[in-house]
Each structure stands twice: as structure tokens, then as C-alpha cells.
């Protein structure tokens, strides 16, 4: 499987069988991803982990989905326009939904170049799923907002 000429690494099927395929059973993930191919792969991996996944490719579709009462977490494409990310993060925070950003670009590419190309490395979907799983379980254990993978969450208990 490839994405923009890069291989997608996903060990979800093998790994899920080894550690319990349904680690996100009962949880709902809002996936905001502009790239259709990557969105389909992330959606599939979250579903394999047991999550119910709702997807949006941009702000207009994401805002009403962010208000779903059973939403556990949101995964946001870092390549969305800054004002779109700000509006969505405000909405998620008001709805007390934690969120993380993900990107296929190297961190040094994101520092100042909005037109930076995706890295030549593979998008490791399992890392995204693992970070989201960790965030969900930290939220259940911690009464305070949690910071995971440099993304602040909006949920406070």
C-alpha cells in the first residue's frame, strides 16, 4: 500500500490480533483528514481497533461532527489552514473533546514552510492509532487535561 508514492506501514492487523483487536471498542473518533487515501487507511485502522469513526475532509463538515455527544477524541490533519484548525479546536474544547494533530511531514518541514512536501518516509498509521489510544485511556485516568504528542487536549473532567 502506498500514499503519494510512499509506502504506508500498518501492522494493525497482525498487532491487533496479538494484543486485543478491540482496544478502542466503545469509543468514537472524529477524523479530519484532507487526503482521501490517508483518511481511508486511518479510518480502517481505527475501525479494526474497535472505534466508530466519523470523517470529515474540512472544517465545514467537521464542526457539526465535533458536537456529537459520544465523541471520544478527534484526530486533525495538521495541513488544514490555521484558521480552520483554530475554529475546530475551539469547538472541540467547548464540547470537551480531546484532540491531536497528525502530519505526514517531518517536524523541520512544518516550522515555516506552509508548502513543505510530505517526507519521503512512510506514514506510520499504527503510531497515530497508538497515540489516540493512549490519549483516550489517559483521559479516563486523569482528572486534568492531558498533553500527548505535543498536542493539547480540550477535555477537562
Assign domain 12-104+120-152 to its CATH architecture. 3-Layer(aba) Sandwich (3.40)
pTM over 0.95: no
The fraction of the chain above a pLDDT of 90, given in percent, is: 48
Could you give the CA distance from residue 149 to residue 151 in angstroms, rounded to a whole number? Answer: 6
- What is the spatial distance between Cα 76 and Cα 55, in angstroms, rounded to a whole number? 10
Q: What is the pLDDT of residues 46-72, one digit of tens each?
A: 999 999 999 999 999 999 999 999 999
Q: Phi and psi dihedrals of 114, rounded to 5?
A: -65, -20
What are the tens digits of pLDDT across the range 106-157? Answer: 444 444 444 544 444 456 888 899 999 988 888 776 644 443 433 333 333 2
Closest CA to 42 of 58, 53, 28: 53
Domain ranges across the chain: 12-104+120-152
* pLDDT attached to residue 105: 57
Amino acid at each position: 500500500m502506498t500514499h503519494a508514492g510512499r509506502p504506508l506501514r500498518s501492522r494493525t492487523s497482525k498487532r491487533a490480533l496479538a494484543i486485543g483487536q478491540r482496544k478502542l471498542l466503545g469509543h468514537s473518533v472524529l477524523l479530519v483528514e484532507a487526503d482521501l487515501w490517508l483518511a481511508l487507511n486511518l479510518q480502517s485502522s481505527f475501525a479494526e481497533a474497535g472505534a466508530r469513526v466519523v470523517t470529515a475532509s474540512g472544517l465545514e463538515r467537521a464542526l457539526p461532527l465535533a458536537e456529537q455527544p459520544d465523541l471520544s477524541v478527534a484526530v486533525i490533519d495538521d495541513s488544514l489552514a490555521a484558521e480552520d484548525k483554530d475554529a475546530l479546536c475551539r469547538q472541540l474544547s467547548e464540547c470537551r473533546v480531546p484532540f491531536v494533530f497528525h502530519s505526514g511531514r517531518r517536524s523541520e518541514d512544518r516550522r515555516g514552510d506552509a508548502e513543505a512536501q510530505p517526507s519521503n518516509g512512510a506514514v506510520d498509521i499504527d503510531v497515530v492509532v497508538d497515540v489516540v489510544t493512549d490519549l483516550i485511556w489517559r483521559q479516563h485516568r486523569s482528572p486534568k487535561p492531558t498533553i500527548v504528542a505535543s498536542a493539547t487536549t480540550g477535555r477537562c473532567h
